[in-house]
Every structure is written in C-alpha cells, then in structure tokens.
Amino acid sequence: MSGRRRHIDTAERLARLGLRQRLAVTARAARPEEVADCLVALHGTDPATVYLAVGARLEDAGKTVAEVDRALYEDRTLVRMHGMRHTVFVFPTSLAAVVHASTGLAIAAKARAGLVKEMTTGSDGRLTEEWLAEVEASALAALARRGQATVNELTRDEPRLKEQFTYGAGKSYESPQAVSSRLMRVLGVEGRVVRGRPLGSWTSSQFRWAVAPPHPELPPAEAQPDLLRRWLRACGPATEGDLKWWTGWKVTDVRRALAAAGAVAVSLDDGATGYVAEGDEEPVDAPSTPWAALLPALDPTAMGWQERDWYLAPGLRPALFDRSGNVGPTVWWNGRVVGGWAQRPGGEVVWRVLDDRDVGREALDAIAAEAARAQAWLDGTQVTPRFRTPLEKELSSG
C-alpha cells in the first residue's frame, strides 16, 4: 500500500474479532476443523479448553464432544502437538509441517541438548547420548506397534525408560527425574510423537502417545511467513509485540517474516503500528447482530494478543487472570470482555458482569442465553480450569 497508511480503529478491530474468531452468531462454524482453521491454533494445555472453545463457536454446540473426538481421534484432521512458546495446541493436521518448521525446530534443539546434558551429568556418565538413542529408537518402535500407548505401557516394552537421573544435581531444586517423561516431551517438540486419546473423559489430562503423522520438512524461512500470514488473517491487525509474544520468535524473525509475507502496516487508535495480511486492508463492517459469548480459560481469543486493552479493560485483569498471566473463563459482549463465568458443583453455569459499560438489558439477556446454551451441552459435566483465577474460584464456590 502506497501513501498514507489506512487507519483501523478499535470498533473495526472488535468487528474483525467477532467475525474472524467465529464468535458472532452469524459467523459460527459447522465443524471443529473450521474453527481450528479460522483460529490457527486452539490452546491445548488444559484439554477441556479445546472442547469448550469449539463449543462456543459451533452452530450446534450439542455435537461438540462427538465432533471434536471424531476430528482428533478418528479422522485425525486435527492434531494435538507442541507449538509456539513450547505450548501444547490443537492444530489442523495440514498445518503440522508449518508449525513444526516455523516454531518447533529451534525449541526442539534446545530441549534435546538440555536433556542430554542433564541426563549425562545427573547420572555420573552412566546414561550417555548413545544410550539414549538406543532407548528412543526402541520406544518409538514399540509405540508404532501399539498404535497408542501411555508411558507406563511403553516402559513394559522398553524397561530402560524407567531409568532415572538427578535433575539439578547439587542445586536447591535437585530431584530425581525419569528418562521416560523427559524423552517423550522432547520427542513431542521434535514433532515425532503427538498426544493421543486421553485416559478417561474429554476433560482428562492423562494422555496416551502416538507416532506423529508424517509431514514434509519445510525450510523455516518458508514456514514462518506462512504461519504469520495465517495468523494475521485471524487476528490482524496486530502489533509487532503481539506477533513476537504469540509466536515466541525473536523480533528479527518476526520482522523478516512480516516482510516475506507482504504484511501491510496500518495505524491503530493508540498510535501504534499494526499489521494485516496482504489483501486484507478493506474495511470490515460490524456483525449484523450483537453477540455474547462465554469463552473458557486459555481461550485462543482471550489469549490471542499480548496488548489487550482494546478488548479487555486493565481493571478486570486481577479478577480474570492468575498470577502467571493465564486467563480464566470470560464473558464477552460485542467484542469486549465484560466479566467471567464458572460452574458450581452439579454443573450450573453462573456468571458475573464486571464492566457494565454498554451492558444493558439486551446484553444481559444474550449472556444469559449463552450461559444456558453452555450448560445444556455440558449436560452435567463438571469442568474445573487447570489454572484457576480469583473470580472463577469465587463464582464456583457458590
């Protein structure tokens, strides 16, 4: 774009958020794959977040559990794997190669080097890099034979996985650590294994492992602009700081990818420079119908940007975030976070508005309808966020 930069004000950013993040009623999706594709990634650190995030965006929320299970474990059109910032996400399987090359390779190299150093130092040389190579080859072969397996099941096939070394030898945090847990984590960030079906229900955090679906090896210089372009389509405009935070890349990598992707600079209301994907400069109108949403802890929209003042008032953060910066369940009205929600024992969904600016009767009725919708498809399943926040704790206690 030549000449003066286009200005995208906060009202348009909120409109884009509602439509691109599939939260406006008119923008809801038919299938989980459509949700994941539009958002690029669903936070998977807390397994329940994936289902709750999809359910909030489906036309028929009653199909959430069955449809997400189908996509993850039957059709395998979605995959749970390590991605940006060493975090577990659920991605479209077609995006696995891009994520691995753009963010996983650098993380994987550090993770393996760290394991080898700690393992050899913490075992007085008894466990070597060559020994580790033998054990992981044996473990991967066992996993391929089984299809899916827990770590305990794999240790029956390869007992050497149970070997331990001293983590942080000589330090105040010194502790014994099993080779199995660290090795599977390294293989995960290397893109060689992925999370399989959980033990128990869809809220369980105990997963089996599976051999990762094959994917082509892409050059990082090709993969990074591809990932950034997709993310800007979902979340643009975004600042350089947003991009650096979300990807976990160095600022030099972000700038290089912005240039390679042909991203277009725009101005924002606070005077900052934002970026949109090439060809996405045209104005976006607000959704035709005002909308409300109840999003789960760690939802990809609430966690999508580092700079959040345009959709989340700073005064709400102490109630809605934990001390590590993890967001809890949030209530939204027309693109802004206005409160939080929780479940009481027995499954009742309760909520509270904390920011009542522009929250009138229409908004309250819409929020109540979304709460009823969530309670209906959850159907008594109790979901407790992995990272609990002050308001969630208060509301859930009754």
Tell me whether residue 171 is in a domain. Answer: yes
Mean pLDDT, residues 329-339: 98
Mean pLDDT, residues 72-98: 92
229 and 352 belong to one structural domain: yes
276 and 135 belong to one structural domain: no
Q: Has residue 2 got a pLDDT over 80?
A: no
378 and 232 belong to one structural domain: yes
153 and 229 belong to one structural domain: no
Tell me whether residue 86 is in a domain. Answer: no
Lowest mean pLDDT among 188-202, 296-310, 377-391: 188-202
310 and 353 belong to one structural domain: yes
237 and 200 belong to one structural domain: no
pLDDT band at 29 (very low <50, low <70, confident <90, very high): very high
Domain boundary among 160, 185, 211: 211
Chain centroid to CA 370:
22
Strand partners, 92: 78
Q: Has residue 36 got a pLDDT over 80?
A: yes
Q: Has residue 130 got a pLDDT over 80?
A: yes
- 203-232: b or e for each residue (b if 16 or more CB lie within 10 Å)? beeebbbbbbeebeebebeebbbbbbbbbb
pLDDT band at 82 (very low <50, low <70, confident <90, very high): confident
141 and 186 belong to one structural domain: yes
Tell me whether residue 267 is in a domain. Answer: yes
Domain boundary among 211, 229, 244: 211
Give residue 105's domain range. 95-211
Tell me whether residue 330 is in a domain. Answer: yes
Q: Has residue 90 got a pLDDT over 70?
A: yes
Give the residue ranges of DSSP H helices in the chain.
Answer: 10-20, 32-39, 47-55, 64-69, 96-99, 105-121, 129-146, 151-157, 179-189, 220-235, 240-247, 251-261, 317-320, 361-378, 390-396
Instruction: Tell me which H or E stretch contains 90.
Output: strand 88-92
> What residue type is assigned to position 235 of the chain?
C
- Please name which of 390, 341, 324 lies closest in space to residue 87, comparing C-alpha atoms: 324
Supply the pLDDT for residue 1.
Answer: 42
pLDDT band at 314 (very low <50, low <70, confident <90, very high): very high
Say what the pTM is: 0.92
Domain boundary among 151, 185, 211: 211
Task: Give the count of domains, the chain.
Answer: 2
Tell me whether residue 77 is in a domain. Answer: no
Q: Tell me: the pLDDT tens digits for 358-368?
A: 899 999 999 99
368 and 229 belong to one structural domain: yes
Rounded to whole angstroms, the Cα distance separating 202 from 197 reads 9
Mean pLDDT, residues 326-339: 98
Q: Has residue 398 got a pLDDT over 80?
A: no
- Please name which of 208, 203, 177 lies closest in space to residue 193, comparing C-alpha atoms: 208
Tell me whether residue 78 is in a domain. Answer: no
140 and 228 belong to one structural domain: no
171 and 245 belong to one structural domain: no
Q: Has residue 379 got a pLDDT over 90?
A: yes
pLDDT band at 3 (very low <50, low <70, confident <90, very high): low
Residues ≥6 apart with Cβ < 8 Å to 308: none
Tell me whether residue 27 is in a domain. Answer: yes
Tell me whether residue 80 is in a domain. Answer: no
Residue with tokens 């891009």: 98
Q: Percent of the chain having pLDDT more than 70?
A: 99
194 and 299 belong to one structural domain: no
231 and 378 belong to one structural domain: yes
